């Protein structure tokens, strides 16, 4: 069975996990989702078909500029959530 998937979601989660101490934001489920949603709304989607996803994400993140773009979107999102938390 073929499936499509926006692997930007996985990549944003991965970078979030790596940087959450630096982001110094509330780690409750609501704030977590608000930060991820903000970042995803400000990054281009990357749809891939089925198992190609993991490999594509690895290659995409090898480009440091891509990783920095995701980190920057997460930093902006966490600042916004810190100032206006919904929890």
The one among 8, 12, 31, 57 contacting Zn ion by CB under 5 A: 31
Question: Which positions ≥6 away from 2 have C-beta within 8 Å?
Answer: 49, 50
- CA triple 60-52-73, angle to 5 deg: 35
Instruction: Kindly tell me which of 18 and 85 has the beta carbon lying closer to Zn ion.
Output: 85
**Per-residue b/e over 76-85, b at no fewer than 16 CB within 10 Å?**
ebbeebeeee
Stretch that binds Zn ion, among 21-29, 38-46, 48-56, 68-76 (CB under 5 A): 21-29
Question: Any contact of residue 36 with Zn ion (CB under 5 A)?
Answer: no
Q: How far is the CB of 82 from Zn ion (least distance, A)?
A: 9
Question: Any contact of residue 26 with Zn ion (CB under 5 A)?
Answer: yes
CB count within 10 Å of CB 13 equals 14
Q: How far is the CB of 20 from Zn ion (least distance, A)?
A: 12
Where does this chain bind Zn ion (CB under 5 A)?
A: 26, 28, 31, 87
């Amino acid at each position: 069975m073929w499936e499509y998937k926006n692997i930007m979601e996985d990549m944003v989660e991965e970078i979030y996990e790596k940087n959450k101490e630096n982001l110094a934001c509330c780690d409750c489920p609501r704030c977590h989702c608000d930060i991820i949603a903000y970042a995803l709304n400000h990054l281009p989607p990357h749809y891939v078909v089925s198992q190609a996803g993991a490999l594509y994400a690895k290659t995409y993140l090898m480009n440091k500029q891509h990783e920095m773009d995701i980190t920057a979107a997460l930093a902006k999102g966490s600042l916004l959530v810190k100032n206006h938390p919904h929890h």
